[in-house]
Every structure is written in C-alpha cells, then in structure tokens.
Amino acid sequence: MADDCLFCRIARDEIPAKIVASDEHVVAFRDINPQAPTHVVIIPRAHIPSLNEADDAATIGRLSLMAAKVARMEGLAERGYRTVVNTNADAAQTVFHVHLHLLGGRAMGWPPG
Ligand code: AMP
Ligand code: ZN
C-alpha cells in the first residue's frame, strides 16, 4: 500500500468511489471521467505502479477475470466490450497504480487513438 496513491486510497475506502464489485484481491469502480456508457476501472488491492513492475500472474489475471464478471453484470458480455491497460507516457497512463479499464456500451473503433 502506498499512502499517497489515489487508487490505494480508493481501495482502502479513504476516498469515495462508485464501487461496482470487489473481493479480497481487486476492486472495480466507475471511472470519474467515463469514455463510454460503461467505464469501470479495475485495480489490485496491492500497490503495483504499472504493468512494468508486475510479476505476479495471479494478480494480473484477476483484473481480467473481474472485468469479465463486471461485463456480465452490466449486460455487455454478449455484445462486447474492451479492456485496456495503459502503461507509461506513450499510452497516457496518468495514475501509477496498475489498472485495467473496462469500456463498453458503444461500438469502438480500431486502431485506438
Ligand atoms: P490511466 O490514464 O490509464 O492512468 O487512467 C486513469 C483513470 O483514472 C482515468 O480514466 C481517470 O478518469 C480515472 N480516475 C482518476 N481519478 C479517479 C477517481 N477519483 N475516481 C475514479 N476514477 C478516477
Ligand atoms: Zn497504489
């Protein structure tokens, strides 16, 4: 846990967030600046700055499995959705606690911007 990390503080319930699902390992909450009708951010409770520092397959795998669960809860599983992990500057990562974006509820273009 990092004391001054925004997402650690959300995981600890120190900062309010619209939490949609959580378990002992991960927390899923609505993005404050949604880029799609459904935009949920999924984080590990453990503080890992980015995918570059990740070394535990289970922790990273749980992010995807929680995304699939939330997609089912939001009625997106059949029509589809996108999961994204931004890493460092070229990908425009802004919060340095690794997270997976779940985006859905509209058709998306490819390649992404
Ligand atoms: P990234 O650019 O991949 O680092 O994504 C960080 C995301 O966190 C952005 O989509 C922000 O809108 C979102 N975000 C930042 N602060 C909050 C917050 N307090 N609650 C929910 N989402 C947030
Ligand atoms: Zn953190």
Catalytic annotation on 25? Answer: no
Q: For tokens 């992990």, name the residue.
A: 85
Distance, CA of 65 to chain centre: 11
Which one of 9, 14, 41 would you pick to mutate in the ligand 1 pocket, going by the greatest count of ligand atoms within 8 A of its CB?
Answer: 41
* Residue pLDDT, tens place only, 48-107: 999 999 999 999 999 999 999 999 999 999 999 999 999 999 999 999 999 999 999 999
17 CB near ligand 1 (under 6 Å) = yes
- CB of 74 within 8 A of CB of 41? no
Q: Which atom of ligand 1 is nearest to the CA of 94?
A: 4
Please choose, from the candidates 40, 110, 98, the residue with its C-alpha nearest in 3D space to the C-alpha of residue 72: 40
Provide the pLDDT for residue 2: 78
Provide the pLDDT for residue 79: 98
CB under 8 A, 24+ apart: contacts of 70-73: 70/20, 70/21, 70/28, 70/40, 70/42, 70/102, 71/102, 71/104, 73/20, 73/21
Q: Flag whether pLDDT at 1 surpasses 80.
A: no
41 CB near ligand 1 (under 6 Å) = yes
* Residue pLDDT, tens place only, 18-54: 999 999 999 999 999 999 999 999 999 999 999 999 9
